[in-house]
A and B are shown apart, each in its own frame.
Chain A
Amino acid sequence: MPPLRLNPTLFNRCRASSRPRLLRPALLPRFLAAQARWSSATTEPNQPDPDGGTQGAPSSQKHIKYTSESYPEIKRDSKFGGLSEKHVQYFKELLGTESAVIDGFSQDATDDLEPFNSDWMRKYKGHTKLVVKPGSTEEVSKVLKYCNYNMLAVVPQGGNSGLVGGSVPVFDEIVVNMSRMNKIRDFDEVSGTLVVDAGCILEVADHFLAEKNHIFPLDLGAKGSCQIGGNVATNAGGLRLLRYGSLHGNVLGIEAVLPDGTVMDDLSRLRKNNTGYDIKQLFIGGEGTIGIITGVSIQCPQRSKASNVAFFGLESFGKVQQAFCAAKGQLSEILSAFELMDGPSQDLVHRVTDKKRPLEGQHPFYCLIETSGSNPDHDSEKLESFLENVMGEEIVSDGVLAQDETQIQSLWSWREGIPECLGHWGGVYKYDLSIPLPELYKLVEDTRERLTSAGLVGDDETHPVVGVVGYGHMGDSNLHLNIATRRFDKEVENKLEPFVYEWIAKRNGSISAEHGLGLAKKAFIGYSRSETMIRLMKQIKELYDPNGIMNPYKYI
């Protein structure tokens, strides 16, 4: 995340001979783009690169394995109808403009369909022959009604930046892409309520809000390509969750289309509304399985005027927890991020980027703390007494405090750059987990021990695993366990699964904290949810989507 905050400024004029530090992590994507074999399997998609383009946009997708081949146990459900000339004709007439339908049925459009068929990690690829891009809620309604009547399966798709294969088809499901519905409908400066179309890109909305001194309560690495509808449908978490809370709280209203074409207009702008079941919550994190979100109204907080970033080195995970408690206690309302990075993750970032480390010595753990508030003097005073305290009490071994915006961005790059750097050697096994805080890091140690004792970890080509690292949103008890590998290897996989899931289940954690279920985690939901819960979920699905046409083969 973003490493995306560099503004062109005055200073650019004197950058003819620029020092590397000022280029910030932007160096990183370019460096990786040259080696992008599997690297994008781990990065956030479509990060801007220094040349103004994007990286992560898959370049040669010819060798992505079809999902149907990687998951041979999934069979196409024969209840779904096949595409016909008549169907394609209907959509073309309905949506009018030529650009709204990509027709691979009556002609060969393999290349045009490619970006809609496969995900940016190049892990999943479907066989769709048709992409429709409705431009209004009414058109979405007509599309779904028609599909439901004709038993045509559909996949709702936003920015296609998901990590679990939820936004691409498995077989020949019709892709309903929301990119044409990208308007900002309304913003009320007094209440901070923003109403947008589902296809509006997150960064566009955030820039719009920045002009009005507000901020979107969600921020994540893929902000330049992900769409708000998709964010809501997957209940995305990200970097601001600690401060602003989850979308379940911030989304005030949703307009969605049900499979039978019914438009569910619940685009409320009210913070309080205790009148009956709160149905919209089912769509938040529903991953497009009961309907398509077409519009969202969301509560946006005031943008902070002042922000500070400190970066610590700590001796043990115990000290990290102490630092977290101290930060909560002493910084309280201005604390906006508390991110954890372990030593090995920072070593790998250093190996890939060769950037100067923020701290001189090396430490087993690092933390990044961000504060945001409305009064710079007040914040600095608080932060200073906090820093004095944690240094004095020897909770942190060493630390630095960013003195300007450039340093703030540079320190963030040591956290945000991790996923990109891990992909440097080949593939990455990624686990996104919620774990009770005291045991958060133990999983990384246990996993590292398990793979090391199996002789899988090493510095040369004969060992598949480069390193086992842990990092994540400490403030939300959310750990990203990543295993950087030179190649995807069955033996490594067998050591990891179901080990990781069982470990999580024993501690009542979640096997998917913020990435969702999609296709990747569908089979493992049982480790986090009871049979009763899963049964109740299935009833909901049954009720809203009796024909099962919405995003089939995934979720639950």
Chain B
Amino acid sequence: MNGKIIHTVCLLLSLCLLSFSNNQKQKPTNPGTVKITFKNTVKGNPLELNTGNYINPFGETYTVSKFKYYISNIFLVKGKVVSFSCEYPFEKPECYHLVDESKPESLQFSFPVIAGNYDSIRFMLGVDSLHNVSGAQTGALDPLNDMFWTWNSGYVMAKLEGKSPQSKIINNKLEFHIGGFMGEHNVLKNITLNFPQDKLLEVKEGKTTEIIIEADIDTWWQQPNEIKIAEHAVCSMPGALAKKIADNYCKMFRIKEIIN
């Protein structure tokens, strides 16, 4: 009798432990691949670094020399079903992407997704607060990428640099380094993009489906907040101005195309 109880307890315990250790290795069953491509634009036209001359809604002209932003915490949604792009809770360096217009290879990336139809994609524009306070990181989060503030720890979530004759800063600089992850200075934005109703994202086993997302710089200047270069040509710390700009640019994305 005693032996039987011990036997049962042991068996249950072993099963539990075995299933626990197996769980850790689980990957999406029947995965397909989703490839995301970012196309950076100004008023719908492809962004041309340094050479493109652009006009904002207030008639101020500007050029763009740097355009970079973090994309993280990506998942696809189908009703109540969620498929993560990366092992939850997004701890590995490869869960973070730095989209950098000057590096074509950074404009697209792929990840495995459970096969099925999806109606929206969600992601964070920026780096979640946890990874702003967890010490030295690597990959896209490496401070080498010039997106980490050393004097006030935290990531620059999005960076837009260029020149404008309306800028009152030395050398007519335009310099938006938008960051802040705490309390009222938080500029992290959770973005949801719905796929067109007549064209859901179809992820098929062993196949690649592509999502092309357009990010338009023209959104940075207004709605809801008017940002005039003559008044604000530099933003280089967390605070009210950074929040205003982030409230504008969080609307810069749209689904351009789905290639099933």
Tell me if chain B binds chain A.
no
Interfacial residues, chain B to chain A (CB-CB below 8 A): none
